[in-house]
């Protein structure tokens, strides 16, 4: 066993969902801090949200102590997330940053997540598993060929199929072993132009790998993925419906950043939301970005609302406390443009990218859920 603790949260209390902190405090509070610890990665995925920032050699990070001090000041902190690049790419980062940050989370009684492609050697993940709550992986494939095509789409040089196939097998094997060792592995798939008709097959493989949760988000083209074809909300609705019809009912499914809201004029959107709310083992997470979460870039100290760069940094941890920066963000006109809350629909507003893409002229402040 990897000595991972049993998952301390349930389907009914997802500590990453801002609706719970909003209910608890009556207003949005910073409860979640995401840290970008690596701009290195062994893959170059077509859809990568931070692909533009990936490098071959990276600068020094800010001292760990500074980050720990800033975390300690966050009054209502409940979760931390570690992201990259591939956060475990450099062993030094694993030893000097990742393990101490996870140990800090444990000692404070808060939850932790790492976003990893788990294609490296098992020993790297085995080293962090005892301190980790959620190993979050991306899985958008039905075969090694898919993995090759998607995972190296932005590589500057050709990557042999056989190399990709070995990584694909290692990733699946690592997921199985980590899961068997007791770690909660959550696999995320994106609904996009490639996957929208393949979701049930992707779901089947995720269940076979022993993952405990399948997380599904539509893909919204940002930065690196800006040139990818966009699918319509109706196609997304069909993909979600198809998945619900054919899923493994025992596997927790978490849907996030959906472009459908309880205030929609479209009855099909509302019917789908109703179905999602009634399905066993299915949850819909409100968007954490800027609602209960901020992202800190450990190389510069810059603070963002998301780990991708569409909204520029609005502060830096060198000079400000994270709670202070969060209050500053809440007062920002962009934050206000998506600040709504309909308790009856358990909804606290759209994601910024979704608003920009589909609801540019909609004033969410003047709408409310139709229940």
Question: Cβ distance 118 to 174 under 8 Å?
Answer: yes
Whose CA is closest to 295, among 233, 352, 253?
352
The number of helix segments (H) and strand segments (E) in the chain equals: 13, 10
By CB under 6 A, residue 345 contacts ligand SF4: yes
CA dihedral 48, 49, 53, 56 (to 10 degrees): -30
Q: How far is the CB of 365 from ligand SF4 (least distance, A)?
A: 8
Question: Using CB under 6 A, which of the segments 15-23, 93-101, 159-167, 334-342 binds ligand SF4?
Answer: 334-342
Q: How far is the CB of 339 from ligand SF4 (least distance, A)?
A: 9
By CB under 6 A, residue 35 contacts ligand SF4: no
Rounded to whole angstroms, how far apart are CA atoms 81 and 77?
A: 12
Question: Cβ distance 87 to 58 under 8 Å?
Answer: no
By CB under 6 A, residue 28 contacts ligand SF4: no
Of 349, 351, 352, 354, the residue at the interface with ligand SF4 (CB under 6 A) is: 349
Residue 335 or 347 having the CB closest to ligand SF4 = 347
Q: How far is the CB of 364 from ligand SF4 (least distance, A)?
A: 5
Q: How far is the CB of 263 from ligand SF4 (least distance, A)?
A: 3
By CB under 6 A, residue 353 contacts ligand SF4: no
By CB under 6 A, residue 367 contacts ligand SF4: yes
Q: How far is the CB of 302 from ligand SF4 (least distance, A)?
A: 29
Rounded to whole angstroms, how far apart are CA atoms 191 and 195?
A: 6
Residue 124 or 217 having the CB closest to ligand SF4 = 217
* Tokens of residue 124, six digits: 């790297």
Of 18, 218, 262, 315, the residue at the interface with ligand SF4 (CB under 6 A) is: 262
Radius of gyration of the chain (CA): 20
Rounded to whole angstroms, how far apart are CA atoms 247 and 227?
A: 31
Question: Using CB under 6 A, which of the segments 43-51, 129-137, 313-321, 337-345 binds ligand SF4?
Answer: 337-345
Rounded to whole angstroms, how far apart are CA atoms 253 and 248?
A: 9
By CB under 6 A, residue 261 contacts ligand SF4: yes
Size of the site for ligand SF4 (CB under 6 A): 15
- State the greatest distance between any 2 C-alpha atoms of the chain, in Å, as a whole number: 55
Of 2, 49, 340, 353, the residue at the interface with ligand SF4 (CB under 6 A) is: 340
By CB under 6 A, residue 220 contacts ligand SF4: no
Question: Using CB under 6 A, which of the segments 20-28, 94-102, 226-234, 256-264 binds ligand SF4?
Answer: 256-264
Residue 171 or 258 having the CB closest to ligand SF4 = 258
Question: Using CB under 6 A, which of the segments 100-108, 179-187, 329-337, 345-353 binds ligand SF4?
Answer: 345-353
Rounded to whole angstroms, how far apart are CA atoms 176 and 306?
A: 30
DSSP assignment of 47-83 equals T-TTGGG--SS--PPPPHHHHHHHHHH-TT--EEEEE
- Chain residues 303-322 in contact with ligand SF4, contact rule CB under 6 A: none
187: exposed, middle or buried (C-beta count within 10 Å: 0-12, 13-18, 19+)?
A: buried
Binding site for ligand SF4 (CB under 6 A): 261-263, 340-342, 345, 347-350, 364, 367-369
């Amino acid at each position: 066993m990897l000595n991972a603790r049993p998952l301390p949260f349930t389907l009914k209390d997802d500590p990453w969902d801002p609706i719970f902190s909003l209910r608890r405090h009556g207003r949005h509070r910073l409860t979640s801090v995401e840290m970008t610890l690596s701009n290195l990665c062994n893959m170059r995925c077509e859809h990568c949200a931070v692909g533009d920032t990936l490098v071959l050699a990276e600068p020094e990070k800010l001292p760990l102590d500074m980050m720990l001090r800033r975390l300690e000041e966050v009054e209502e902190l409940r979760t931390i997330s570690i992201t990259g690049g591939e956060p475990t790419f450099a062993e030094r980062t694993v030893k000097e940053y990742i393990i101490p940050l996870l140990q800090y989370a444990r000692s404070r009684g808060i939850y932790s997540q790492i976003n990893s492609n788990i294609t490296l050697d098992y020993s790297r993940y085995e080293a962090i598993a005892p301190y980790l709550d959620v190993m979050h992986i991306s899985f958008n494939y039905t075969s090694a060929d898919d993995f090759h095509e998607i995972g190296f789409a932005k590589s500057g040089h050709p990557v042999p199929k056989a190399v990709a196939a070995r990584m694909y097998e290692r990733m699946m094997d690592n997921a199985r072993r980590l899961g068997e060792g007791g770690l909660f592995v959550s696999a995320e798939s994106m609904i996009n132009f490639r996957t929208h008709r393949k979701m049930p097959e992707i779901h089947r493989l995720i269940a076979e790998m022993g993952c405990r949760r399948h997380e599904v988000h539509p893909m919204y083209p940002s930065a690196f993925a800006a040139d990818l074809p966009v699918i319509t909300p109706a196609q997304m609705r069909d993909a979600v419906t198809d998945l619900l019809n054919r899923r493994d009912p025992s596997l927790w499914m978490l849907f996030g950043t959906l472009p459908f809201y309880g205030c929609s004029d479209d009855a099909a959107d509302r019917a789908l939301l109703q179905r999602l709310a009634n399905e066993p083992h299915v949850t819909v997470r409100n968007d954490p970005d800027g609602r209960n979460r901020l992202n800190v870039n450990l190389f510069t100290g810059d603070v963002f609302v998301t780990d991708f760069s569409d909204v520029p940094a609005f502060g830096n941890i060198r000079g400000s406390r994270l709670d202070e920066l969060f209050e500053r963000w809440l007062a920002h006109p962009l934050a206000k443009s998506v600040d709504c809350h309909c308790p009856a629909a358990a909804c606290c507003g759209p994601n910024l990218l979704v608003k920009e893409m589909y609801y540019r002229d909609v004033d969410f402040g003047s709408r409310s859920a139709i229940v």
